[in-house]
Structure 1
Amino acid sequence: MITSSTKLNFLLAFCLAVLVPAALEAGYGNDAFEDDPSLRQKDDLEWPEVEFPSADERGKGFKAGETFSYRARWGIFKKAGSMSFSTENAPNSGGKAITVRTDVASRGLIKKLYPLQMKAIALIDTENWRVVRNQTLEKSGSDHKSNVTLFDFDRMLMNYEDKFRPERNHIRELPYDCPVDYASAFLQIRGFDLEVGTVYPLFITTKGKFYYAQLKVMEMETLKTVLGEKECFRLEPISSYPQSKVFREGGKMALWVTNDQDRIPVQLEVKAPVGTASIRLESYTTEG
């Protein structure tokens, strides 16, 4: 006779042996949550006319000496990975630049099945509050990736260089003069004067691609966080140009930021066919 316990063990074994590797292959990596880097965006996209907040407004959320650490969850995996980003004054910049460092790594069972490490360093100009250089190093199993993106704002050009895949190298015209990477976008958002019903524009650059996204504060929600019970703004994308796997509309992506003087991003969720990925704050430290 097959007992309930036997059935449970069988289902668990089936998930670990069949479903998990299949799901990982299908997209635990960035492919499920980010557009394929091998597919280049068209150069003739018709970007909309946009009025972005002033440089002062875009820079209010940045402060050197902060570290945000998160635990990543994906589907049934509560400890799928870790993510952190930190800020510091850029060396030899005379206070004219700040670095935003991002570290991502798979953890637990996911690490054994899909070992992933990613590091990124964005150099942010503190006069105009935009990224001027972004470097990403990534290792997934035996696969290595390394790319550097440089911005020439005098000529409004982006130069993307892929160390291991030079066929992806290209130079593109910038549609707007205020790009930020994903981590810097988190910081930029927290500096805005958030208000329910208001829409905020972002210009994101990632791996040689651009996305113009509009995030709207949908409502206030109270969350239990590592910082205690916090009232938070819940933001969702209402549009993305071109379409993006990260900035999914219709409630498929959401960001929660605390409604206090610190404006801490405490949670992010992105829904995909392979499950919901979320990151939740584990710790926040500041030198100031």
Structure 2
Amino acid sequence: MPALHDGEQMTFRVGWGLFSKAGKIVVAAHEDNHGGVPCLRVITTTSTGGILKAFFPFEARSESIFDLNTGLLLSTGETSHSKRKTTRQSLVFDHANRTATYTNDIEPHKNTVLELPPGAPMDLIMSLVQARAWQLQPGDKRDALVVFDDDLYELTLHALNPEQLRTPLGTFNTVPIEPRMEKTEPKGMFKRGSTVRVWIAQGETPLPVRFEVEFKFGAGVATLVDYRRAVDTDHARGSTIDDEKHPGA
């Protein structure tokens, strides 16, 4: 099942090189109904901010819809806008036939039907957030099927040695998780030598307190700066992580 729950929201501050406030990522989940099926909608918004926004304005919104009965991803869609490019694309999954229909509204010649490899697909951010539910410990690994635009990557998530991280929300004992492309020939960002990591706080409320994507020309770091709990917990609606001792602290 998805590792996010109704009403849960995570806000990350993005840093890039000398820009400590280069942007923001917000991941929010709410229960809904999709064609008569109870579902969880996970909406992720990304935007540049501060000085960087003046030179590189960028906004993106993605939506993933999960079937709450099966935990499977039903569809995912994304739109983005920058100075140079606008994108609008979607994937609709047919799990019975192990296919996914890709639709690109801006470049329709790219429309296609994909064969699904083994596994339950998710987008990259959701697969990293999902790691909080797997409780991976150093030396553990787990396979993940990750959506990248009109392609699907078969990744293996590796749990690395524990690290203690200081963040605006406190100090956390964490286990870093690193996706690697081992089952197939590396492609895309992995072929270009990029690495991705997420640091999962240990404790009663495992949270992804930091993401990092490292490229040859620099690294983008997203740090958790605000957390809103799910509405079906014993905590009050709208409570934040500051209401109690930070997990893993």
Same fold (TM over 0.5): yes
| 1:218-271 Cα distance to aligned partner (Å, 9 max, x none) | 111111123311100111234343425555899933210000121100111121
1:270 matched to 2:216: no
The structure 1 segments of at least 4 consecutive aligned residues displaced by more than 6 Å after TM superposition are 248-251
Aligned residues of 2:128 and 2:198 also touching (Cα < 8 A): no
2:121 counterpart SS class: coil
Aligned residues of 2:67 and 2:74 also touching (Cα < 8 A): yes
CA offset at residue 143 of structure 1?
Answer: 2.7
Matches within 5 A, 1:202-221: 202-221=144-163
Aligned residues of 1:237 and 1:249 also touching (Cα < 8 A): no
Out of 100, 113, 123, the position equivalent to 2:65 is 123
What's the counterpart of residue 10 of structure 1? none
d(CA) in 2 for partners of 1:207, 1:249: 17
Q: Structure 1's 148 and 249: CA in aligned 2 closer, same or farther, altered over 3 A?
A: closer
Compute the TM-score of the two structures, normalised by the length of structure 2: 0.85
CA offset at residue 181 of structure 1?
Answer: 1.2
| 1:21-79 Cα distance to aligned partner (Å, 9 max, x none) | xxxxxxxxxxxxxxxxxxxxxxxxxxxxxxxxxxxxxx262322110000111111111
Q: Structure 1's 95 and 62: CA in aligned 2 closer, same or farther, altered over 3 A?
A: farther
d(CA) in 2 for partners of 1:249, 1:198: 25
| 1:71-99 Cα distance to aligned partner (Å, 9 max, x none) | 11111111111111111102356673101
Amino acid aligned to 1:263: P
1:101 matched to 2:43: yes
What's the counterpart of residue 64 of structure 1? 6
Q: Structure 1's 246 and 200: CA in aligned 2 closer, same or farther, altered over 3 A?
A: farther
| 1:102-149 Cα distance to aligned partner (Å, 9 max, x none) | 000011222111110000000012233221111101111263211111
Matches within 5 A, 1:161-240: 161-240=103-182
2:97 counterpart SS class: coil
1:73 matched to 2:15: yes
Matches within 5 A, 1:133-144: 133-141=75-83, 143-144=85-86
Matches within 5 A, 1:17-36: none
Q: Give the unaligned 5+ runs of structure 1.
A: 1-58
Of residues 98-107 and 200-209 in structure 1, the stretch that sits farther from structure 2 once superposed is 200-209
d(CA) in 2 for partners of 1:183, 1:61: 12
d(CA) in 1 for partners of 2:3, 2:99: 26
From the two aligned structures, give the one with the greater strand fraction.
2
2:129 counterpart SS class: helix
d(CA) in 1 for partners of 2:38, 2:115: 25
2:128 counterpart SS class: helix
Q: Structure 1's 187 and 254: CA in aligned 2 closer, same or farther, altered over 3 A?
A: closer
1:186 counterpart SS class: helix
Out of 254, 258, 265, the position equivalent to 2:197 is 254
Compute the TM-score of the two structures, normalised by the length of structure 1: 0.74
Aligned residues of 1:238 and 1:250 also touching (Cα < 8 A): no
Question: Radius of gyration: which is bigger?
Answer: 1
What's the counterpart of residue 227 of structure 2? 284
What's the counterpart of residue 243 of structure 1? 186
d(CA) in 1 for partners of 2:45, 2:67: 21
| 1:176-223 Cα distance to aligned partner (Å, 9 max, x none) | 241111232133211002211101111101211101111111111111
Of residues 136-145 and 241-250 in structure 1, the stretch that sits farther from structure 2 once superposed is 241-250
